[in-house]
A and B are shown apart, each in its own frame.
Chain A
């Protein structure tokens, strides 16, 4: 066994981490993440030049990565840096286009931004609830909280065509897009489709979509681990330096034990994310990814709430970095299936 990153991935991790620290520092991040387009578009091109997007796709699709560990390497660094750029949608779109065998050069070089429109108001997580329909070359329906949709040029839309679920490509300029910011930074959109012209990418796209969603979930797990590591550093620094009753508050055993519990959860989160990355492409991919996303949902919320509580009021102020980390840690759960949704997937096997 070897739990270390390969040389290539370590270099990518280092260069992305350094880039984010230099260019996307927390102050800059807070400035751009809450106003349209909710990320820094100039830095998007720089990130693409670094090869961040190429790392998300396999060689046969024009990239140089695409495995589970490539995804976790990129997203762990994005999490540490609290990066609001819409890389998640790019990853899932790339995965769908790889499945379709479609050309994705403009996606990988960062010149066109893609978003994947899957969830709907009454079915935020599950493909079975999709009601958007495709017929006669046109899409009708509404897609809700499409991550990165506020700033995407192309949407890949999951829709029903008869009994199957297909993937269809729509130009943003052909649809009605209402973009907005998110409480934890970054943007999303409502996508209104009313006999909107669309091109078929994958006719029977269910398996491809499940795979893209699993990669997205894995990415969110890795992002959360990066966020937890960064948040924990802030917390430990505070416990060591904040004095009340004449001593650093980290000297109080009531807080020491809670800090240790958090580190335990972070290590568990890291482990299950490594496990999930290793299972991408294997038979048990869906089940292990669901386990990981469930554990991450629980651990990230605990990390957030305990970090706020041990800081006290200061962590509830906009001007501190920690308030923005803690928001992202909580809101990650509502992306691509929350804790309960993943738990049901794990439990589904028990009856068989």
Chain B
């Protein structure tokens, strides 16, 4: 056993760190650090900086314009960007659609679409879930009926993250209604300015707008926008979910979260003494840190398996379950550390003279509530347990 990173990996980490120090704009990292909302322009700006460096499409092979990183290099990049408070790379085009087209798309589709993802000309969003098809995704009902050279789409998608910024959407649609539900699903690409599409915002529990519902009424889409064969959408969906799960442990975020939580508990006082000196609260942080130390190694073990033996297996569901619980515990402790000062709804009145806490803490309660999503999206933790018990334990 040797738990150290190789010389090349360590050098790579230093290179990433130096790049971030020089190229990550302070205005952006400050917004990320304080949990403030990022504008579309902020995300576009970071996208362009990474694209110039060739570090944008972290999972893409070199031939398509990716950096050709190993899973471990990609992991190091994720750790360092989380540490530096870089904006999250919006995953829908880069981490999801890109790999799908590289594996299932035609050469024409690859040439037409992939460069526009890199350049930022296209912002993709995801049309998967429906009001009646959440955990049971295969029961989706949005219908695509072939009519001449087109498909005509009718139905409704929901939880479309950052759809308000997008000009394109990739969708799972039903193209066959008999037989097993999984066998009648297709994967199709849709221009959001096609007539018949309406996007409506969904306001979330903490008041923010990051997800949307999308309504399709007689939307005509050229048949060439189909990816793969008709009715093979479920295969693509499963492939894509594996990609969605690669950074699902969020270890980089948790490592940074631990640093911030300790700083917060040193700063916040109870009866004039730093909260971190309270053994009950310190014990809560310590238990979370212990879980995180183990998680870092679990994550690395699975990364090395993926690196040496190819694609990750169902055991990545362990990363999703434990990784999200650790992050949610951190959010909970950050909210709890502030006590009543976590309760105010963030507003302009809460800065300056009347501020109750540092700028980086004003969103603590909102982040706690918003991040309850971590154990729900991308296949809820219950669905992950189903996958594990079936595929890994063969129960």
Cross-chain contact B281 with A340 (CB below 8 angstroms): yes
Nearest A residue to B371 via CB reads A316
Annotate B350-389 by CB proximity to A: 1 below 8 A, 0 otherwise: 1001101000000001101110110111001110010000
Q: Which B residues lie within 8 Å of A128 (CB)? A: 271
Residue in contact with B135 in the complex, picked from A126, A182, A244, CB distance below 8 Å: A244
Cross-chain contact B345 with A183 (CB below 8 angstroms): yes
**Contact A316 B271, CB 8 Å, known A145-B356, A254-B385:** no
Indicate whether A309 reaches chain B with its CB closer than 8 angstroms.
Answer: yes
Give the total of B residues in contact with A, Cβ under 8 Å: 52
Nearest B residue to A252 via CB reads B382
Q: Which A residues lie within 8 Å of B223 (CB)? A: none
Nearest A residue to B381 via CB reads A309
Annotate A121-136 by CB proximity to B: 1 below 8 A, 0 otherwise: 1111110110000000
Indicate whether B91 reaches chain A with its CB closer than 8 angstroms.
Answer: no
**Contact A183 B366, CB 8 Å, known A188-B343, A309-B372:** yes
Residue in contact with A182 in the complex, picked from B336, B344, B372, CB distance below 8 Å: B344
Cross-chain contact A123 with B272 (CB below 8 angstroms): yes
Indicate whether A265 reaches chain B with its CB closer than 8 angstroms.
Answer: no
Q: Which A residues lie within 8 Å of B205 (CB)? A: 315-318, 323, 326-327
Q: Which B residues lie within 8 Å of A246 (CB)? A: 139
Give the total of A residues in contact with B, Cβ under 8 Å: 50
Nearest A residue to B355 via CB reads A190
Shortest Cβ distance from residue A263 to the other chain B in the assembled complex, whole angstroms: 19
Residue in contact with A183 in the complex, picked from B158, B343, B354, B385, CB distance below 8 Å: B343
Indicate whether B278 reaches chain A with its CB closer than 8 angstroms.
Answer: yes
Annotate B208-223 by CB proximity to A: 1 below 8 A, 0 otherwise: 0001000000000000
Residue in contact with A144 in the complex, picked from B340, B365, B372, B382, CB distance below 8 Å: B340
| CA A145 to CA B341, docked complex, whole Å | 7
Cross-chain contact B207 with A305 (CB below 8 angstroms): no
Q: Which A residues lie within 8 Å of B347 (CB)? A: 180-181
Nearest A residue to B372 via CB reads A308
Cross-chain contact A122 with B341 (CB below 8 angstroms): no
| CA A338 to CA B343, docked complex, whole Å | 13
Residue in contact with A123 in the complex, picked from B270, B354, B373, CB distance below 8 Å: B270
Indicate whether B339 reaches chain A with its CB closer than 8 angstroms.
Answer: yes
Indicate whether B230 reaches chain A with its CB closer than 8 angstroms.
Answer: no
| CA A3 to CA B368, docked complex, whole Å | 38
Residue in contact with B344 in the complex, picked from A180, A315, A316, CB distance below 8 Å: A180
Q: Which B residues lie within 8 Å of A308 (CB)? A: 372, 376
Which 3 A-B pairs rank lowest in CB-CB distance, beginning with the nearest? A129-B271, A145-B340, A318-B203
Instruction: Pick 25 A–B contacts, CB within 8 A, sort by A.
Output: A34-B207, A121-B341, A123-B271, A145-B341, A145-B344, A178-B353, A181-B344, A182-B345, A183-B342, A244-B139, A254-B382, A308-B372, A309-B375, A313-B134, A313-B211, A313-B376, A316-B204, A316-B370, A316-B376, A327-B205, A331-B343, A331-B365, A334-B335, A335-B340, A338-B336
